[in-house]
A and B are shown apart, each in its own frame.
Chain A
Amino acid sequence: MLISVHDLNKTYQGNPVFKDLSMVFESNEISCLLGPSGCGKTTLLNLISGLIEADNGKIEGVDTQCISYLFQEPRLLPWKTVWENVEFVLKEKLDQEESQKLTESYIRLVGLWEYKDYYPNHLSGGMKQRVAIARAFAYPSDLLLMDEPFKGLDPKLKSDLIKAFLELWSKDQRTVVFVTHEIDEAIEIGQTIYILGQRPTSVKKRFNIGHIKDRKSLAPEIQVLRTEIHKEFNL
């Protein structure tokens, strides 16, 4: 699913967030939005998902029926077990057999099969986020929106979750819009990186990195890219 954003304008409490913002998210690619806090990254995801509406401009290629959204917080229902939380979003979309098959398969893929009957308050922060990842992937979507889902997690856990996410994505490729404010995270995950500026936000620069498989953190091209991105942020 290719998504194009055309001349998007959005004002929040009288302050312009986006002014004529245009960008393209390539089909079955992971596009990262890298920008300073408060530049409107989450607002853009909310616009794409249809949770809020733009003042004017348009977003093409989005079918709001087929979007998965991985929020900053896992947003699990505390009265539902791991299994029920994943299955909750599938019940109206798929028949029972298929929804059970997908629920099982994705809970296994995120390594939580033994915890399928646990309630969220008995899981650690990382486990909860893995349930949210399973839910997002189990949902039959063409587009996956991710809003800093690894924010605030310790480095080891974050690296494990990124690994789990990339493994899932390589098996089940979808168009992903990944929001972050961490340069290394964007380089590790993204195939295209958009650098966003301060409000009213516009695209400062776009980098194409290529396929994730070819990437090694010490490869000279990546080092150059990292330096370039740092320059964009005056670091």
Chain B
Amino acid sequence: MKISTSLTNRKAEWSGVITMLCLWKVGSLLSGNLLFPTPEETIVETYALLRESHFLIIVGHTLLRGLAGFVLSAITGIGMGYCAGRFAFFEGMNRPALNFVKATPVMSIIILMLIWFDTNTIPIVVSFLVSYPMVYSNVMQGTKSVDWNWIEMATVYNVSHVRIFLHIYIPAIMPYLLASLNTAMGIGWKAVIASEVLLQPRKSIGEQLMNAKSELDFVKVFAWTLIAIILSYFFDKVFRTLESRLIRWQ
């Protein structure tokens, strides 16, 4: 039953991909290739980019920025979210700052950051600021979801605080955490590339996108976009695999 369901899902996903490719092809044929390259042109250009000597350096720089923002938001989000879930006062104290971060437009943040940070660091800070609220809120929710009955049971059986944390809190938080990290990774990745486009740090996907746009090389714009999408898809797959391993019991 499970196998047939996953097979149906896969078929449905592939049908979606084919439909999108068809729409893309029709769109490019209708609007002219120059402004809207075809899928074939994009794939050929992507392959050419992959073969360029500095490709890995460019992607590596952007990936590192994305990863740095992600790790930063994961560590602080887990720590702060756990404390907020345990202590109502801590949650209340953090609420104004969190609302401030959530409500501030990303563009305002980038402009302000230009005063304090260099262009290589700003994408990391931006990625952190868009991802952190998600991780924080989900971990807080996960911590609050811990059934007090489990804690009582463990207390009666003299289970130490460390084991209660490791064997009750962490597994209870895990589904919330993984879901938030997956979304945070996706949004953080987009934010990194968006800020790179604006700030154009050297050797970055954002800089390549902006250069291609200035040269009216739309095939290249499409190719770099496709690369960014493929990388994002890869992260999503990694998280889904992690999810299925770490929360097998669900």
A169 to B16, CA, bound (A): 61
Q: How many residues of A contact B (CB 8 A)?
A: 24
A187 to B158, CA, bound (A): 32
A103 close to B (CB within 8 Å): no
B residues 130-164 near A (Cβ < 8 Å) are: 149-150, 152-160, 163
A residues 107-151 near B (Cβ < 8 Å) are: 119, 121, 135, 139
Task: Please give the distance in Å from B77's CB to the nearest CB on chain A.
Answer: 21
**Would you call B149 and A75 a contact (CB within 8 A)?**
yes
Please, which residues of chain B bring their CB within 8 A of the CB of A64? 158
B249 close to A (CB within 8 Å): yes
Please, which residues of chain A bring their CB within 8 A of the CB of B154? 88-89
Q: How many residues of B contact A (CB 8 A)?
A: 21
B49 close to A (CB within 8 Å): no
Task: Please give the distance in Å from B169's CB to the nearest CB on chain A.
Answer: 11
Please, which residues of chain A bring their CB within 8 A of the CB of B157? 68-69, 89, 135, 139
A35 to B150, CA, bound (A): 26
B227 close to A (CB within 8 Å): no
B247 close to A (CB within 8 Å): yes
Annotate A48-83 by CB proximity to B: 1 below 8 A, 0 otherwise.
011100000000000011011101010101111000
A133 to B154, CA, bound (A): 15
Partner of A77, one of B160, B167, B247: B167
A93 close to B (CB within 8 Å): yes
Chain B minimum-CB-distance residue to A75: B153
Partner of B249, one of A73, A92, A121: A121
Closest 9 CB pairs of A and B: A89-B157, A79-B171, A75-B153, A79-B249, A69-B156, A119-B249, A75-B149, A49-B156, A78-B249
Binding site for B on A (CB under 8 A): 49-51, 64-65, 67-69, 71, 73, 75, 77-80, 88-89, 91-93, 119, 121, 135, 139
